[in-house]
Amino acid sequence: MWTILQKDLLLELRTREALSALVVLMLLILLTFTFAFDPAEAATAAPAVLWVTFVFAGLLAVQRTFLIERENGSWYGLLLSPIDRGAIFVAKMTGNLIVLAIAQVVLLALLALLLGVEMPRAPLALFVVNGLGLVGFSALATLFAALSVRLRAREMLLPLLVLPLLVPVVICAVEASRVVLAGGGAADAGAWLRVLATFDVIFTVAGWLLFEQLVQE
């Protein structure tokens, strides 16, 4: 499993394709929001902007990684090898997660710059809160991404599949971020974080179990 992860990461780092596309896309969406919002409201809107940008850009990015792999045939090579399918899922999910996490740091920085959002004194808390959301996001996106590349309506399909399922993540991550941005600590956001953590555990395990059933060719 580690080898797959290593391979994916190395590929990413060398080409930096998905990451750069992701960052540029996020920047564009963020800019659009900047024009849409009155700067005074920025602080309250910030977590929502963060997550909306994130979800749409993130889904496209995850989809791309699968598309590339499928196009150059390495996907089938992977399936034919005797590696446990569950392990493939975890490797892919972690790979996506790392890319998304890096993107998130960039996005948070952009957010602070463009919308003039006050970053809390402990930015780590904000990062952790959103990181928890990311884990759940990665799990579901990775699970369903392999399908969307096959069908004609691919760009539409992955968001359709994943977004309704992600509602708890969006609600909890946005509200928890809001708490942290307003200066609260982990304890204040406790309830949201608990739900996020539960979500992450359930869907990582589910993805790990289900991926095996999905990719049989």
Partner 1 sequence: MSLRARLALVAEHVLPFAATAAMLAALGCVFLYAPNERMQGAVQRIFYFHVNCAWSAFLGFFVAAGASAWYLWRGGETADQLAQAAVQVGMLFCTMVLVTGPIWARPIWGTWWTWDPRLTMTVILWTIFAVYLVLRSMGRDDAEIARYGAVLALVGVLDIPLIMVSVRLWRGMHPSVISAPKGQGGLEDPRMVVTLLVALAAFVLLFLWLLWRRFETLRLRDAIRRVEDRVMEARA
Contact in structure between 99 and 22 (CB atoms under 8 Å): yes
What type of residue sits at position 87? A
Contact in structure between 53 and 26 (CB atoms under 8 Å): yes
CB of 50 to partner 1, least distance (A): 17
Cβ contacts of residue 81 below 8 Å, gap of 6+? none
Distance from C-alpha of 213 to C-alpha of 143, rounded to nearest angstrom: 11
Contact in structure between 29 and 57 (CB atoms under 8 Å): yes
Among 123, 171, 184, 186, binds partner 1 (CB under 8 A): 171
CB of 80 to partner 1, least distance (A): 17
Burial class (CB in 10 A: 0-12, 13-18, 19+), 204: buried
Listed ranges 88-96, 116-124, 158-166, 180-188: which one lies at the site for partner 1 (CB under 8 A): 158-166
Q: Is 168 in the site for partner 1 (CB under 8 A)?
A: yes
Contact in structure between 93 and 157 (CB atoms under 8 Å): no
Q: Which two tokens stand for residue 39?
A: 């700067």
Listed ranges 4-12, 25-33, 75-83, 153-161: which one lies at the site for partner 1 (CB under 8 A): 153-161
Among 36, 40, 80, 167, binds partner 1 (CB under 8 A): 167
Residues 92-151 that bind partner 1 (CB under 8 A): 140, 143-144, 147, 150-151
Q: Which is nearer to partner 1, 82 or 164 (CB)?
A: 164
Residue showing tokens 């997660």: 97
The binding site for partner 1 (CB under 8 A) comprises 140, 143-144, 147, 150-151, 153, 157, 160-161, 164-165, 167-168, 171-172, 175, 191-192, 195, 198-199, 202-203, 206, 210, 213-214, 216
